[in-house]
Homo-oligomer: A and B are copies of this chain.
Amino acid sequence: MSYQTAFAAAGLSEADLKGGDLVVTSPIDGSTVAEIPTATSADTQAIIDRAQEAFIAWRNVPAPRRGEWVRLLGQELRREKEALANIVTIDCGKITQEGLGEVQEMIDICDFAVGLSRQLYGLVIASERPGHKMLESWHPVGPVGIISAFNFPVAVWSWNAALAIVCGNPVIWKPSEKTPLTALAVQKICERVNAQFGPDAPDGLCQLLIGGREAGEALAASPMVPVVSATGSTRMGKAVAQVVSERLGRSILELGGNNAMIVTPSADLELAQRAIVFSAVGTAGQRCTSLRRLIVHESIYKPLMASIKSAYDSLPVANPLDEGALVGPLIDHPARAAMQNALNEARDDGGRVFGGEPVLTNEYPDAAYVRPAIVEMDSQTAIVQNETFAPVLYVMKYRDLDQAITAQNEVRQGLSSCIFTTDMREAEIFLSSSGSDCGIANVNIGPSGAEIGGAFGGEKDTGGGRESGSDAWKSYMRRQTATINYSGELPLAQGIKFSNS
């Protein structure tokens, strides 16, 4: 399939892809696939104004009707699943299966949000005063800015957008400059959904803001954008958080992860091996939840390492559009350079590196394919505590579980973690208040690949935001606590008497 065929199938016309100032290349081969226009700062302001206008209309559309919009979106995504998955692959280089999985995640969150649209539960609360009642209600909060990263070019938008829209808020999406094509394709779908939905859906419900760092900064700074959801590096997240907090806005941050797996003596090693390989090399190690640190009990270290290395040996690194490919390219040359630097630093720290070298350099000189790396470390040095966005798996031994958990928690990031064990005590300790300090803590599955029904996000340098399931929707609404007096009296709370009669 040529890129052009894929673009056409996803509704992207030649006109859409020509004449702009942002040069888009595909990580598959490094070729330029589009030149698309970016927003000027006047455009940005106009987009924000349009969102504000859309908000005034959309917040009064009943939530179940808003749910119908999201249902239509889910339906369109089901229809376009393959076409969109292909653009995901072309845009960010992940393999077809993962592209399909990413679109499935969009569909899942739509289904979930439709159900939410008849819930968005507030509370009726017992009041201490006769003839009074208390209510907690959740109301739309205003335009939501979504800053997404290249590695999940569409799913992250959908987690935010499906909830934000059901909650009564328009969205403004600033995709990664590296992957704007998927955003364009999704925007086409949104426009179709708007048309199907009819006039109640305002024009500015879903808008795209193509641009670089300034575009993101404009969203972060605007008081008209009460919520900014930002996915990306910890560095970016801190910058966003400070700008947003300067105006007392709300940030939802999904930042770096440095995710570990502990493998205990009782683990099902065959299961562990499969989980390790998928979570360490899936999306070429470029998931925020990718497995980066493996902490293995000394008693099983040898057989497990042998089995992993053997699996790595046979991993097909290839064009991600090829059937059979399991590892596609890194996003670009700087990413490959960063990986090589990390491996060198690890070597300097005494690490034994297995794999990790550039590959397919002849076939795709402008792309950045690598063989995934395993690095055996004696201790958790600085480089191990850093997140290198590439398929590098650091492996360490441990002797007792406390020590393993301490090592797991030692890094600044707090996104995902897991343990492989069949011992219920080990599993429960890992999940307990003195266990993993991450937002995600799994047992017998890898750190990546969350279902949408749970809240997704992490602690510490991961930024503390939560998206997707559970009550993550509350981040997209404002809470109103009301006390209603329907009596003829005016008793004060806490029994205060205030009167000079």
Contact = CB atoms under 8 A, between A and B. Distances in A.
A238 B245 contact: yes
B440 A480 contact: yes
A204 to B, nearest CB: 17
A136 B454 contact: yes
A129 B63 CA distance: 9
A124 B125 contact: no
A309 interface: no
Nearest to A498: B278
B101 A492 contact: yes
A492 B442 CA distance: 13
A500 interface: yes
Interface string A103-143: 01100100111111111111111111111111111111100
Interface stretch (A24-32, A208-216, A345-353, A418-426): A418-426
A410 interface: no
Contacts of A355: none
8 contacts: A65-B128, A136-B455, A248-B255, A423-B424, A438-B480, A444-B485, A449-B493, A451-B494
A471 B136 CA distance: 11
Q: What bracket does the count of chain A residues touching chain B fall in?
A: 35 or more
A126 B432 CA distance: 11
A248 B242 contact: no
Interface string A227-249: 00000001001100110111010
A8 interface: no
Contacts of A424: 421-424, 427, 443-444, 484, 486
A64 B127 contact: yes
A188 interface: no
B137 A496 contact: no
B445 A126 contact: no
A453 interface: yes
Given A422-B425, A441-B482, A125 B114 contact: no
Contact of A500 (B56, B61, B316): B316
> Copies per complex?
4
B97 A498 contact: yes
A333 interface: no
Interface of A: 56, 59-65, 67, 71, 97-98, 100-102, 104-105, 108, 111-141, 168, 234, 237-238, 241-242, 244-246, 248, 250-251, 253, 255, 268, 271, 274-275, 278, 282, 314-316, 324, 326, 421-425, 427-429, 431-434, 436-445, 449-457, 459-464, 466, 469-471, 478-488, 490, 492-500
Nearest to A121: B123
Contacts of A326: 498-500
Nearest to A200: B130
Contacts of A64: 108, 126-128, 451, 453
A466 B494 contact: no
B469 A125 contact: yes
A450 B497 contact: no
B242 A238 contact: no
B436 A483 contact: no
A431 B118 CA distance: 19
A250 B53 CA distance: 31
A302 to B, nearest CB: 22
Given A64-B453, A129-B62, A314-B500, A442 B483 contact: yes
A481 B271 contact: no
A450 B246 contact: no
> Top 6 closest A-B pairs, CB basis?
A115-B115, A122-B124, A428-B486, A63-B126, A118-B453, A444-B485
B479 A315 contact: no
Contact of A484 (B132, B427, B449, B469): B427
B97 A496 contact: yes
B111 A436 contact: no
A112 B126 CA distance: 12
Nearest to A64: B128
A271 B131 CA distance: 14
A130 B454 CA distance: 16
Contacts of A459: 141, 478
Given A64-B126, A65-B128, A125-B470, A461 B314 contact: no
Contacts of A271: 485, 488, 490
